[in-house]
Amino acid sequence: MLESSGALACPRDELFTDPEALALSGFLAGYSGLTRDAYALDLRQFAAWVTGARMRLFETRRVHIEAFARELEARGRARATIARRLGTITCFYCHAEQEGLIEHSPAVHVRRDALGSGAPSDPT
């Protein structure tokens, strides 16, 4: 998984394909300090969830990202925490798409609750 420094804690090829590892390290390289630490945590938890579902990061679809959010809700995570995790995941996949590592981001139309209103927000 990812450590707070963005480095892989175990051999890369066991968890991530080369394009996935490149996307993770490239995305985190754009940040520093506490922001980088928070984003690394978000991605580490999402990657653990994805691997637990026997998928790879670049095999996920929108439904998987939304299922991850619903699981966080079921575990009692705060709405702000869930919104930040979804924001990080959305930005990660956008980065991978912009870098030509994936054809289309699965997170483009992920439903996210607007904090405080309960109404879905448009992530675009």
Cα(121)–Cα(71) distance, integer angstroms = 19
The model carries a pTM of: 0.79
Alpha-carbon distance of 41 to 88, in angstroms, equals 10
Kindly tell me the burial class for residue 123, based on how many C-beta atoms sit within 10 Å of its own C-beta (0-12, 13-18, 19 or more): middle
pLDDT digits over 11-27, tens only?
444 678 899 999 999 99
Residue 31 confidence class, pLDDT cut points 50, 70, 90 = very high
Fold assignment, 12-121:
DNA polymerase; domain 1 (1.10.150)
Task: Give the domain ranges of the chain.
Answer: 12-121
End-to-end CA distance of the chain, in Å? Answer: 29
